[in-house]
Amino acid sequence: MEKLKILIAGSTGYIGTELIKILSKHKFVKIKYLCGNKSAGKKINTFDKTIKYKNLPKIVKFSKKFLRDVDIVFTATPNGDAQKISKLLLPKNKLIDLSADFRLISKDNYKKFYKSKHLAPENISKSIYALPEITKNKVKKFKIISCPGCYPTTILLPLLPLLKKNLIKSKNIIIDSKSGYSGAGRGVHKKFKDKNLYESLSVYGIPTHRHISEIQQELDKYINKKVKFLFTPHLSPMFRGILTTMYLETKNNINTDKVISCLKNFYKKSYFVKIEKKGSLLSTNSVINTNNCKISVINSKEKNRIIILSAIDNLIKGGAGQAVQNLNMIYNFKITEGLR
């Protein structure tokens, strides 16, 4: 088949450069345009020396005329930019967005959490919140594919099946997540200039971290019931990776073996979700540079309480890899294409 032509907007950010690395290895796509504003005219390896693929275009400023030449637009841009681009899409274009622009199904919720008016509310109904292992082939029906945030990915993958099967209680859920500082983008040092990112652990975003909105939305929507949880995010002194720890109350007579069995059965056909042996103590080191999510279930000293660990690479499974996973599902490519 003829290769799909790709445009990447926001190509110089951490997620953008990961997209380039993955798509450069993808047999069925060709990167036609790399877009950026201040970076226009430069080569992409100016921003990431590990990108050594030949025939990559120089960075240019985005123009709507480019949409005539491409099939897929990836947006790894600041919030708001994908909304603007969505209004320019041609019938043949699909948009795979890695920002938060189409994650929320309520424009009012978007304004509440992102402090700005949604610029393309008419396109929200054309979008899908696409966590690949959950939404699967539903992505084929939508023009705009909204990829989940990195924290929600680690949280939703373990919780959704367990809540659906009624194995855990939908209240008193405590979620503690620690992320590498790359999750805040290349501007992280300006944003957190008062913190020593390399030697300290920092709490931030309490109690209104933006990802709370999509976690709440997806949990409630999936089980059609209000879920009550507390979420605390941390910046960790590491570049990439997320480790999430969740403290859950099980229903009566539900033990860790039943929880593990549920997760294994739910994800038995999911290549990138790995359910570890009972009691496994996870490290982000085992998922770095992969599109895997590793999940571990651990006994608690308290009756009817369990601990679940979930680990991903925030730039791949929590970003670029998940976006390409959705691309592969849309076009019936092998799910691992570009992602090994």
The edge-to-edge listing of strands for the beta sheet with 4-9 is 59-60, 29-35, 4-9, 72-75, 94-97, 144-146, 127-129
Q: In the annotation, is 150 catalytic?
A: yes
| Rounded Cα gap, residues 260 and 19, in angstroms | 32
Token pair recorded at residue 297: 């279930």
d(CA 235, CA 151): 12
Token code pair at residue 6: 């790709």
Cβ(241)–Cβ(150) under 8 Å?
no
Name the nearest CA neighbour of 276 among 297, 299, 254, 306: 297
* Active-site position among 35, 147, 150, 293: 150
Q: Nearest to residue 182, comparing CAs of 48, 272, 61, 74?
A: 48
The end-to-end CA distance of the chain, in Å, is 22
Which segments of 119-270 are extended strands (E)? 127-129, 144-146, 173-180, 202-203, 229-236, 242-249
Quick one: CA torsion of 110, 160, 339, 34, rounded to 10 degrees?
Answer: 0
| Catalytic machinery residues | 150
